Homo-oligomer: A and B are copies of this chain.
């Protein structure tokens, strides 16, 4: 069912590397298709988007305007939710907004003794595009997690695109869009939607950044428009790493491994424990609980293909492995998690203690569920308000300041053979 490893096994490092490896290589056929779609949308605008939407989504519209959902339709979707679902969505949105308010960057500056003033001015992006997948992978929680940080940042216009093949709409997604304050919604998807947002068309305004998950075509399109617009990380399969000791409930640990595995067969669930008996209890819980899971086939395939229960020497080794794995989600299901949390340097989110199940973080704890995957937590961060703000350097030089800075700049510029740079500095020096 799920492989059992020990860090003391010979060849453990290589086995772990192979287990963690995920092939990000791109598909040439997809790349070519996407390149062609981008080119057509760039040059033909609305007409190309309409044509691709007809072809790929079997959705026949005469004009782009027909593919825009009025705000009233979003409102109706929200009003139509069962009360429990609506209040859960509202509670989640409030907690996510409140947490993200704390991420806002502020402008700052300081003035030196000679009157020169330096700083950074922080501003929000003007307009952001939010890609939301259609069909089964359409998650309202994902709409909240992507849209709310943008709104908290102060983004003026948030444009959502969501494919609705054959006109099938997802009421929960539209309700979440309403709640999150999405400004405009177009029912388009795929590379053509990414292209429309990146380049702009007659109807769809060009955005400054595109965020949100999508299939291989969407990911390829986002990579290609990067530079023309900003993009978020292109995510790999989701992962959880759980460090647990005998104080943990093996059923809870098993279900948390399942929760990751149920996403898809490539999702990765790994347990590290210094306690061999505890690992055996988790294995027993897995056997016991798996049949009760509606998505047991996906879970079983994921656990078999990419999961592992790993016996480690001690917590120090567990933390060292966690830092090497740099997991998207890390659970510290141990009696005394604080010293472990201190040692963790690389993880998208750290869930501390037995009650911090990943699923609470996925929906409503407050922090974002868009997290760096595939070891990218070594160098990147959860999606946040800071992804929808940017900085401009402020450089105000006083006349006195120019006398100090000018000779330094001129010396260095001459050293680099850039005479105009040097002259620009020298002209500001009083004779």
Contact = CB atoms under 8 A, between A and B. Distances in A.
A313 interface: no
Given A344-B392, A416-B141, A360 B85 contact: no
Contact of A358 (B347, B386, B392, B424): B424
B392 A353 contact: no
A14 interface: no
Interface in A150-192: 172
B293 A397 contact: no
A103 B120 contact: yes
Contacts of A56: none
**Interface class of chain A by DSSP:** mixed
B350 A208 contact: no
Contacts of A259: 418, 420-421, 423-424
A345 B256 CA distance: 44
Interface stretch (A2-10, A64-72, A274-282, A374-382): A374-382
Given A412-B363, A420-B295, A397 B92 contact: no
A396 interface: yes
Copies of this chain, whole number: 2
A373 B123 CA distance: 17
A11 interface: no
A26 to B, nearest CB: 10
Given A126-B378, A140-B412, A261 B299 contact: no
B365 A139 contact: no
Contacts of A417: 136, 294
For the complex of A and B, the 4 pairs showing the least CB-CB separation, nearest first, are A230-B379, A352-B396, A367-B393, A88-B411
10 contacts: A88-B408, A89-B412, A117-B352, A293-B423, A295-B420, A350-B394, A352-B395, A359-B413, A364-B405, A368-B393
Interface of A: 24, 84-85, 88-89, 91-92, 99, 102-103, 108, 110, 116-118, 120-121, 123, 125-126, 136, 139-141, 172, 208-209, 227-230, 233-234, 249, 251-252, 255-256, 258-259, 261-263, 293-295, 299, 337, 341, 344-368, 371-372, 374, 376-382, 384, 386, 390-399, 401-402, 405-409, 411-413, 415-425, 427-428
